[in-house]
Structure 1
């Protein structure tokens, strides 16, 4: 995960920036940089590929001042090189940025037509040029900032300094976190309050879509309409332990909200948006595979079941998904050229690890999709396919799950290319849709208040059924698992087409049925399932998009409307709704959300 630190009006600015970068190292990154403005308003910067320690070696005595910005980068657009490292400078603007600017290609073409030159492959440099162009046109940083935001698509957070403005930081966030803070005669911006804990005295957690202007001991916030707004200021945490959760009530809530950012980082490791291609991964070749075995436990297994639909549809590759604890003991029969993919957040899950060892001993190529690159599974597998979810504290997996889905979606496209089922144009289309997922997830998070209201009623239910078709069938099972894990309500997920084969016997007055029903080619069939359970007295909550909401008007008791997402993106967007629903039901019931009873984060015994 990328990290942003910014400070103005502080004699120890350089020390604060470097300490902030060190505190953000745990999130993962591949380059780092810092830019500082001296008392004359001149900006100087240092950048380095690799670790923050490498950056320290690049710092000179000329890089000093009371105002500056710093960044740890996980490569998205462009390789992990010094040239692509942040901060990026364009004219008077120097800028650091987290996230993805989805429309950067079109913006770059327009800026190039204005005579602007680019020295990197990044979308960040495009943003710097765009802001500099707006400042040159308006002469006013506030006006330029708001005008720039109106042209951006995607999920992002950024901080900028402007040459000649020695006491000014500009920032904004949409689908990625950013906090503003003040201290004695100082102002701060950071993607994580941990970066400035100890230096800041008060903190403002910016809202979705906010723009911010920070001066020493002064913060001005503007909403999506460009109007000045007051956001509540709170005492800044005094220890890193207190800072870790930020302003969220639970780690699970924080981790749900981190998803646009971490899914974007994960996808960036698999996709080359400049070339419109999935990056080849050393050792991964599905072209001659006879079958793909996917093995995992719990949520990881459901991620694999969703991916089964993708690999078979896009690549024509037969897939078999197994629960690790069963796979180990059923004496599975292997075929020549089988490839085995194991999914684990921790890389230490006992059943999954032993299943992997069994396949490795049988001579199969083993791939592990894992969030912990130093784990046992990562060390023992033939190939490691990483996710970039960062540490996940809540026992109920959220961001690890969606990062797994993002990785699996990219690998399914890669398999389609390698097996000759996807041509260059189709690959580019898939990459564009995948890169748009973080922005869609950020939009989906805006339904939180509606879901909180629905959860108050759902918390009274004794049984909840989830229904879905195609890849939304395993998503229904994942939704039911989340609800069971943290609210202790009995919940089950079913394929909507199986309703008449038994589950419909459970339907009676006021039984809650949650139906995942995007407006796709199977919508009409899913709609018939809604009508069947509604006719028998069920209270139906439909999770759909705008077209589905219009079609279901009057047919569901409540409708949760998500942004319209097509193809591979749709399950990740739906995941936001099922996670928020489970979370708020548990909050209303008063359960221990982050550490539910009888459960452990990593199951390292049978």
Structure 2
């Protein structure tokens, strides 16, 4: 969601802040601002609604603001409409304290009413300004900024990542976090805070991840971290091992296009180290055969595209493991009194590892005695650190808001875990196990071959981009894959799109089919191809125009009925969604391109959802 960067060092802060905010634009935002302090000019605040370029032009790339201490923010509105006043940073009434904030202050109204009774005047509609005013209130009490921060945080309920500067502390940047990501970067010419490593990767690869309840004080030459009792904490340093070019477009028009094309290599990196001598080897997974045999059920918990990975995996895992697998939206899990105990394995899937709903669901599962396994992409993220076991997808940085390579790597990693567990249980026969592994190792090559020829998808996008409503239909794994194809389309093209299990058409949905309605019919799941064909005939009879997706062996049969057909290479049915989702990603991309949409930064959406 929102982006935070802070710098204290030995060079001008404003250009560094703008550069960091630019690298976090992909997270989604509607306003931006910076606060910079200098000895001569004091606290200088500049913020504005709209894109970062508006702010950059306002301060001439940072040249207008002097000082080597500052904080910056890109805001995605939650409390108060997007405008200049509600943009961050927020400043205390006396103008001496400035803060940036990610998260939600749940008791902000109570705190605001208390402060107003003390005579404090508010200028914005945000929950964040409450923190700034509360800090000033406590600072006036104790005249010690670190103590004031501690007092303030003890009164706040909710989630926060905070960057704080005070005019009375010309060389110090203060940071705090709870349930919202924040990292500290150690640089040669100064030190940083950021909500995303992409913001500071150009300046340093030496980082530490702040934990809940921690407060940090940064100067140009030092970093001190304290726990919620103000006791010093020794932090473990991490090294960011991906190159800065991975977060750049590399000649592509959009990050989404680049990341679609990176999928073969991302899948290879996910698979290759985990297959040795014809077996799945998961060194970081510590599940014994006795534990797995004793499982009564498995939950898969996630949001958005990661949830769709779970839906695909449910079909595959129940067939492989002969155990009940339940897929739940993380935002619903902790409110449904879930049946979790010590015989429950809970898989949580999150690209960022910071998705607040998923993190809260994982904590609820652990509280009830379940064992948790996290599937994440970001090393050192909150979910990765808190889970009992963690497996990384190793997809590399994903910048476009609409996920592509994170989805496919999650999918193949879940396939690997499913095979691994089935092997422990003895529920998969050796020939089937070997066939799946053999085909899995061919996935990158088959994906690469398909991506080399995408002209027909561009053509179909130009033919169908002006539809206002599109339906995706499929059965079994095709239905699960259709959920993701539909989401991709609506996310970036703003076309109304829904995915339905084909067998449900006659239970209501077919009433929406009229002459000219576009239906994307998925027929890649070989065991149910004939059923898929019958549904194509069904919607055609009501006047639908059908764009079909099938595998190459079935292309000729599909072309006899559908209006247009896309085919992908055939693989093992369990692995087919990993290949078949690629044309759906491309179709969404090219449709959005035809419609002139902001593909990498679709409206109202954020890359990492760190509020409930």
TM-score (norm 2): 0.58
**2:271 alignment partner, one of 251, 267, 271:** 267
Corresponding residue number in structure 2 for 1:591:
597
Check the 8 A contact 1:466/1:491 in 2, yes or no: yes
**1:373 alignment partner, one of 379, 398, 402:** 379
Q: Is the partner of 1:436 in helix, strand or coil?
A: helix
Instruction: Write the distance in 2 (CA, Å) between the matches of 1:467 and 1:587.
Output: 24
Corresponding residue number in structure 2 for 1:525:
531
Check the 8 A contact 2:440/2:575 in 1, yes or no: yes
Check the 8 A contact 1:394/1:601 in 2, yes or no: yes
1:306 lines up with 2:309 in the alignment: no
Q: Is the partner of 1:597 in helix, strand or coil?
A: coil
C-alpha deviation, 1:547, in angstroms: 2.1
Structure 1 residues not aligned, in runs of 5+: 1-196, 198-238
Structure 2 residues not aligned, in runs of 5+: 1-201, 203-242
Check the 8 A contact 1:447/1:560 in 2, yes or no: no
Instruction: Write the distance in 1 (CA, Å) between the matches of 2:281 and 2:556.
Output: 36
**1:453 alignment partner, one of 454, 459, 462:** 459
Corresponding residue number in structure 2 for 1:346:
352
Pair member with larger Rg:
2
Moved over 6 A (4+): 239-243
1:284 lines up with 2:290 in the alignment: no
The alpha-carbon distance between structure 1 residues 470 and 241, as it changes in their structure 2 partners (threshold 3 A), is closer
CA RMSD after TM alignment: 1.8
C-alpha deviation, 1:441, in angstroms: 1.0
C-alpha deviation, 1:276, in angstroms: 3.7
Check the 8 A contact 1:278/1:431 in 2, yes or no: no
Q: How does 1:12-91 map to 2 (within 5 A)?
A: none
Instruction: Write the distance in 2 (CA, Å) between the matches of 1:241 and 1:387.
Output: 19
1:294 lines up with 2:296 in the alignment: no
Instruction: Write the distance in 1 (CA, Å) between the matches of 2:246 and 2:381.
Output: 27
Corresponding residue number in structure 1 for 2:572:
566
Number of equivalent positions: 368
Q: Is the partner of 1:283 in helix, strand or coil?
A: coil
1:503 lines up with 2:509 in the alignment: yes
Corresponding residue number in structure 2 for 1:146:
none
Corresponding residue number in structure 2 for 1:219:
none
The alpha-carbon distance between structure 1 residues 327 and 277, as it changes in their structure 2 partners (threshold 3 A), is closer
1:604 lines up with 2:610 in the alignment: yes
Check the 8 A contact 2:436/2:572 in 1, yes or no: no
1:253 lines up with 2:226 in the alignment: no
C-alpha deviation, 1:372, in angstroms: 0.7
Check the 8 A contact 2:401/2:607 in 1, yes or no: yes
Q: Is the partner of 1:341 in helix, strand or coil?
A: strand
Instruction: Write the distance in 1 (CA, Å) between the matches of 2:246 and 2:582.
Output: 26
Instruction: Write the distance in 1 (CA, Å) between the matches of 2:540 and 2:256.
Output: 32
The alpha-carbon distance between structure 1 residues 240 and 431, as it changes in their structure 2 partners (threshold 3 A), is closer
1:393 lines up with 2:396 in the alignment: no
Q: Is the partner of 1:330 in helix, strand or coil?
A: coil
Instruction: Write the distance in 2 (CA, Å) between the matches of 1:250 and 1:428.
Output: 38
Check the 8 A contact 1:307/1:405 in 2, yes or no: yes
Q: Is the partner of 1:429 in helix, strand or coil?
A: helix
C-alpha deviation, 1:275, in angstroms: 3.2
Check the 8 A contact 1:516/1:574 in 2, yes or no: no
The alpha-carbon distance between structure 1 residues 330 and 279, as it changes in their structure 2 partners (threshold 3 A), is closer
